[in-house]
A and B are shown apart, each in its own frame.
Chain A
Amino acid sequence: MTMSDTEYSGTDVSTAEPTPGATDDVALDVRGLTKIYPDGTLAVEEIDFSINDGDFCVLIGPSGCGKSTTLHSLVGKIPVTEGEIRLGGEDITHAPTYERDIGLVFQDFQLFPHLTVEENIEYGLKRLQVDADERTDRVTNIVEMMRLEELLDRQPEELSAGQKQRVALARSMVLEPRLLLLDEPLGDMDYKLQKHMERELLRLHRELDTTFVYVTHDQTQAMRLADQIVVMNDGRVEQSDSVERVYNEPATAFVSAFVGDSNIFTGELTDVTDDGSCAHIETPLGTFLATTGNLRSEPMSLVGEQVPFSVRPQYLELDSELDNSLSCQVDDVIHQPGSGTQIILEATTTDGDTHELQLKSFDRIEPSETVTVGWSAAHATLLEQTSVVDGIDLETDILGE
């Protein structure tokens, strides 16, 4: 620890004012964050992202992508090597942990087992030496908001998972943090309980109106919870955007494949249509038409380059008259009651290699053994690059292998 230890001691966290000039709607701003561990490991490199006030932001990526390092940097658990972290406009890059105005919720919630619900909630206020009257007021308010009145005298072991989550959030929120960090709190739960807790958490987020940063490796959880997703890979940010944009306008093939399901093709961009809206891509499976709408570069500048494009499984159709078509063998048909049909397809390249595709339909469909799948050019999204990381094998990288 440095000089900040003494300089900041005694400051009431809850009344810290944002520095003048801070923008009102940005809660957290991370610029150029780099962390090199003492053994030389480059854990994160030049991380940039910002989160709007009140948003639910999810940090996601395969194991080892740097999301834990990022989280620990935000909390102040590890010193950063380079870069800047601003919270509510205030530079907290080198501030000690207790000074950061950030609440934390851990995996399994980690309530104090020997304290009652009320004592758990009051604990942080006592540590900050908030006077008794104010403590009572603040505990009463949060207890009312989180509907915990009936549970105040209970021990943590007597609580259901849903109740524990509410107490853990209350314990952090009573300190009125500018930001709440949640480190895979639902990681270890049964499938059914996890779904229930996700909905509960969304409801609490709506009521609390606080900025949440949630770390997970579970894509579906990220999609279900987030307003904004930061997709990380190998210490870098692949994309930081709304759920809608990450899904429909992915920055890279990695993002498209990692978040949601997708069919990724790669080929040479040979030609651009007159109006510039579409390009012809020559792949080993044939030549396809794809939209240029998602590209940052001028499409003509990519002629002769190898470029990936992605088609979400829900946009593949059987035996339809669309811009693109491909003959496939049906490998597997999975009817999942309540969510439709998933078809695993196999196409053969001119070299005799096989390429797997997925088709998803909300209806129950029964395909024949050989089918022609089609998709429109508008749903074939050209991607600027495979990944921000050079030379990755998409398949193994995404599976975390």
Chain B
Amino acid sequence: MTASAISIESVTKSFQRETVLRDIELEVEDGEFCVVLGPSGCGKSTLLKCIAGLIESDDGTISLDGRDTAGMSVQERNLGYVFQEFEETLFPHKTVAENIAFGLEQGEQERSPDEIEETIDDILALLAIEETRDDLPGSLSGGQQQRVELARQLSRECPIMLFDDPLADLDYKLQKRMELEMRSLHADLGSTFLYITHNQDQALKLADKLVVMNHGRIEQIGTPESVYHNPQTAFVCRFVGDSNALVTEGVPTDVGDGVVEVETEIGPITATAQNGAEKETGIVIVRPEVVSLDAADCDVTFTGVLEGKTYTGETTEFALSLEGLDRDFYVVVPNNPDIGAIGDSIELGWNVDDALYFDKLSVTDTVTTSDLLDE
């Protein structure tokens, strides 16, 4: 049994009186692509800095390949670290090749000048930026600079790579391209990646293991599929992927097999209890893509009025108004079906499995139902 690449036990960190990390427990296995996802201020950046040794945690243990990092310097940890603000980390007066060479010369591993040249060529080819070899960083596009920074960090061949939302500032098309490159780099290199982002879409695409953080705590750890389909709290369900939320009124009635009947803004609903079923207020969440516009075979059916339609090429999103609900209810379907005109009455429905009831909103007690409605 080998040790985890990164092992975090009971890590806590406060700045002044504010606790930014509380009892963090996380194991990242060797070669895993682990993505930490959470809203701004959830503590994910602080966690990354604690691992890198840029910030010291107040309490708890961080081990890298089984070695306790207490007292270990940033250099001794031998980690690759790619920041979002990559422009600031490249030397402006050195060429791309010199920038990469500098990192290699500073590394622990002894390399001859020939080996360094060869490593530079290999890594530039891997990232498809051979033509920038003799350019200064300032003359490159944002995407090229980002790839140079990636090259510089990856060429050091660190077994563990940390990424701080490295694609956040890139234009959409380049971001999509780089997401694919991150996946193939990870597959080719076999190193352990710990990657933080606030972008759900990116997290679901990249992660082997997904960690959802909120208010300095971990809400859930799992594969993207399990986090998406089996969220442990309402926060996770709302934050990861798209959803419709309905506020409940009164304690639900348990009808067996983990199914409850509960009163909501749009009337009584039968739903699957994800956690608890004792509280006066809770929330029922229905993902837009599980709602059917062919209500014939559905467990739960409603009638709404079509208010808006958004066709995006691959899918169409319908905005419906339901009686009792002061927000739109969204339904997403593949392609561009004709379901009627704006103002038409529309039948919709879903199955009990697809409506998730939560009375535990979050692992923290600071989250309220109105927070979850984005108001």
Using a CB–CB distance below 8 Å, which chain A residues touch chain B?
62-63, 160, 162, 190-193, 195-196, 199, 202-203, 206, 217-220, 223-225, 243-244, 247-248, 258-261, 312, 314, 331-332, 334-339, 344, 360, 362, 398-401
Contacts and interface: CB of A to CB of B under 8 A. Distances in A.
A231 to B, nearest CB: 13
18 contacts: A160-B375, A191-B201, A192-B198, A199-B319, A199-B330, A202-B319, A218-B172, A219-B172, A219-B173, A223-B311, A223-B313, A225-B310, A260-B313, A332-B183, A335-B224, A399-B143, A399-B177, A401-B174
Contacts of B39: 190, 192
B173 A339 contact: no
B171 A62 contact: yes
A337 B229 contact: yes
Contact of A339 (B184, B229, B289, B319): B289
B287 to A, nearest CB: 6
Nearest to B40: A190
B242 A399 contact: no
Interface of B: 39-40, 141-144, 171-174, 176-177, 180, 183-184, 187, 198-202, 204-205, 224-225, 227-229, 239, 241-242, 287, 289, 307-308, 310-315, 317, 319, 328, 330, 334-336, 374-375
Contacts of A193: 374
Contact of B334 (A63, A202, A223, A362): A362
B33 to A, nearest CB: 12
Contact of B172 (A190, A217, A312): A217
B172 A220 contact: yes
A312 B335 CA distance: 12
Contacts of A344: 180
Contacts of A247: 311, 313
Contact of A400 (B174, B204, B225, B313): B174
Contacts of B374: 162, 193, 196
A337 B228 contact: yes
Which of B187, B334, B335 counts the most A-chain CB atoms under 10 A from its CB? B334
Given A63-B171, A334-B205, A260 B141 contact: no
A331 B335 CA distance: 26
A62 B143 CA distance: 13
A220 B199 CA distance: 14
Given A336-B205, A337-B228, A312 B312 contact: no
A192 B239 contact: yes
A335 B225 contact: yes
Contacts of A334: 183, 205
Closest 3 CB pairs of A and B: A337-B228, A247-B313, A260-B313
